[in-house]
Amino acid sequence: MAADKKNIMIRFSFVVLFMVLIGIAVVIKASVVMFAERQYWQDVADRFKRENVVVKPNRGNILSSDGKLMASSLPEYRIYMDFKAGGIRKDTMFINHINEICEGLSRILPDKTPAQFKAHLLKGRKKMSQSYLIYPKRISYIQYKEIKRLPVFNMSKYRGGFHEVAFNRRKKPFGSLAARTLGDVYADAEQGAKNGIELAFDTVLKGKDGITHRQKVRDKYLNLVDIAPVDGCDIITTLDVDMQDICEKALVDKLHEINAYVGVAVLMEVATGDVKAIVNMTKGNDGNYYEMRNNAISDMLEPGSTFKTASMMVALEDGKITPETVVHTGNGQMPMHGRVMKDHNWHKGGYGSINATKILGYSSNIGVSYIIDKSYGNNPQKFVDGLKRMSLDQTLNLQIAGEGKPNVKGPKEKYFSKTTLPWMSIGYETQLPPINTLTFYNAIANNGKMVKPRFVKCALRDGKVVEEYPVEVINPKICSDRTLEQIREMLRNVVEDGTAKQAGSTQFSVAGKTGTAQISKGAAGYKAGAMHYLVSFCGFFPTEAPKYSCIVAIQWSGAYPSGGGMAGSVFGKIAERVYAKDLRLSYKDAIPEVREEIPHIKPGEVSQTRKVLRELDIDHKVAFDYNKKKEDWCVIQHSDDNVVLNQTELTAGLVPSVIGMGAKDAVFLLESKGLRVRINGKGKVKSQSILQGSRIVRGQTVSLTLN
């Protein structure tokens, strides 16, 4: 019995020892899993885990009033490598193909050599980094697709380790045109928009996020959509690209000519208040002009003589004067409550006795201030009420942010003195943003109805209108029809016989008013040595049936300037070019009957060229067989009675000639060959920096000079 008991105890001890060893092994294995292998199993769990993943929608486009693309989103990528993914097999493939990979990367991204890429990637491999940045800059979609074809990189994220982070970059096909009004978005889409239309309509443009989850189906992992993302709506603006270009060129040419530091031009459609063009130019340190801020809606400056129109309208409406009322302006200097009011020609002896029409036409400070001071000196509130009756004190509540609030001082306010009224009547001691001044003149042109400036007409989704932004009326009638008729005739006289002759045209009638105001700069105030001026012209055309109103305002320093000579001349160029663009004449009506003239035609893509020729009803023939389903390019040969399209020879791997092409065709053709394009100037291509027949190096930049 004793022997059996001893054997039992030995067996029991072995069992206990075995169980203890198993327990110790379990604890050790659990510790290894919890600590040493924690990240690995966490990654495995992440692959199986059902998780809500946010899917970002595509941001909507911004288009001009005639459907041209003004802002759109293009995908860009940052590329990374996970050196722990795929295990030893992938690592062996990576080492075997590293030279091929680096040569491919250098070909696609030529600013780094294969040796630099190799050293960089081996450094990441040594660190065993899971999110190693391969290239410091963002790359385009085309570059990303080419890189995805390289060895190892063409494998899935979990087998090969190559992965990316996508971004949406906002691109403006027309460059600086209306750039500040269109606005900008942050590089990180999560932060949204910065300013302009992009910010004002951010919720409409950005759409709604979607949600997906990852699930294993038949041994494959699929991203299944729970809630589909809703892409943002497209925004149709009121802007016209051609008119914008006209306004920008006319203004910038004048700014360069006179060396001004800020310039503004806004073109508005009279009936609707649609802003067809808005230009805001500030001089940069390099001497060129850029859109830095939306001066047209934010600058709070004394308007100067453009405000005289409002003062005269109040006096006309209240029956204080008629267009024939005569005022003796003397020798161009007149004491007013302890200060001397001067006309701009005081050193020439002034204007003497002139009627109200000529007072506005010659922009006589004495004439306007005398009328207002005599009529309202004992009751200045009545004059201010007249201005408010015309809604000059109202904030416009524009569709885009950043507008200034008009400052029209009242007699009960601080610093309203005896001299305030006469100086206020000629555009001092009052502040209006340029677009508010334009809105007032637009109301005069629009038979007294003041409409709010409009930048956006509607929002579209899949080509269908989802929301409209109708014309809004601020004031249905700013004054009587009699006053309107009188003031419009007086404004026409300003251009025909007054200070704004350079704003006029021989083709149609223009009405408007010049303005010159000295800008106070800091402690120097209005003293000599701080002579900064705002020169402006605001008006409308054609006078008989106004279609467009426009304001041009320039900030300039130097000798006493001329509003008509500076701003008025810019207005005149804009008006004539817009008027010519707006003519609805057929091509055949524009050429003499004695000779049927064929216009100059640029080289381009065959199908598009033929489409234009058919629209213009110009006889033509194609001198080669071309495939309508693919792109073929042609050069043009003119004959006496028709046009011949000859084939452009394109050799694979060689740079084509784009001389004579328009910018759109030239950029498309060169970028389709893998080249980058930089454009200088406007018009057709005059020269290209890389000559025809040179071997193509993908990613190389071609500079095109247009003329």
Strands 620-622 and 643-647: parallel
Highest-confidence segment of 508-517, 526-535, 640-649: 508-517
Residue type, 34: M
- Write down the H helix ranges in 408-480: 420-425, 434-445
Whether 523 shows a pLDDT value over 50: the answer reads no
pLDDT, position 156: 85
Helices (H) and strands (E) in the chain, counts: 22, 32
Are 684 and 706 within 8 A, CB to CB?
Answer: yes
Whether the bond into 656 is cis, omega within 30 of 0 = no
Q: In the chain, pLDDT over 70 holds for what percent of residues? A: 88
Distance CA 72, CA 190 (A): 17
- Kindly state which CATH superfamily the domain 241-582 is placed in: DD-peptidase/beta-lactamase superfamily (3.40.710.10)
Q: How confident is the model at residue 644 (pLDDT cuts 50, 70, 90)?
A: confident
Residues linked to residue 683 through DSSP beta bridges, in sequence order: none
- H/E element, 283: strand 275-283
Backbone dihedral angles phi then psi of residue 90, each to the nearest 5 degrees:
-65, -40
pTM for the model? 0.71
Nearest of 296, 279, 274, 268 to residue 578 by alpha carbon:
268
Residue type, 545: A
Q: What is the SS3 assignment for 317-375?
A: HCCCCCCCCEEECCCCEEEECCEEEECCCHHHCCCCEEEHHHHHHCCCHHHHHHHHHHH
Q: How confident is the model at residue 129 (pLDDT cuts 50, 70, 90)?
A: confident
Are 181 and 31 within 8 A, CB to CB?
Answer: no
CATH architecture of 53-237: Alpha-Beta Complex (3.90)
User: In 34-55, which positions are buried (b, 16+ CB within 10 angstroms) versus exposed (e)?
Assistant: eeeeeeeeeeeeeeeeeeeeee
What would the pLDDT profile of 413-434 be if each residue is shown by its tens digit? 888 889 999 999 999 999 999 9
Q: What CA–CA distances, in Å, run from 632 to 611, 614, 626, 649, 650?
A: 14, 18, 7, 9, 9
The residue-averaged pLDDT of 34-38 equals 70
CATH number of 604-706: 3.30.10.20
Strands 139-140 and 289-290: unpaired
* Overall size of the chain counted in residues: 707
What would the pLDDT profile of 235-260 be if each residue is shown by its tens digit? 999 999 999 999 999 999 999 999 99
Comparing 109 with 75, the larger pLDDT belongs to: 109
Which 8-state DSSP code applies to residue 185?
Answer: B
Distance CA 433, CA 553 (A): 10
pLDDT, position 590: 39
Comparing 304 with 633, the larger pLDDT belongs to: 304
- Please report the DSSP string for 190-228 in residue order: GG-B-SHHHHHTHHHHH-B-EEEEEEEETTEEEEEEEE-
The residue-averaged pLDDT of 136-149 equals 89
Instruction: Extract the tokens encoding 602.
Output: 């640029």
Instruction: Extract the tokens encoding 361.
Output: 């036409």
In this structure, what is the dihedral angle of CA atoms 25, 29, 34, 37, given to the nearest 10 degrees? 160
Q: What is the mean pLDDT of the chain?
A: 85
Instruction: Extract the tokens encoding 351.
Output: 């204007």
Distance CA 231, CA 228 (A): 9
Q: How confident is the model at residue 4 (pLDDT cuts 50, 70, 90)?
A: low
Computed on alpha carbons and rounded to an integer, the radius of gyration of the chain in Å comes to 36
Whether 651 shows a pLDDT value over 90: the answer reads no
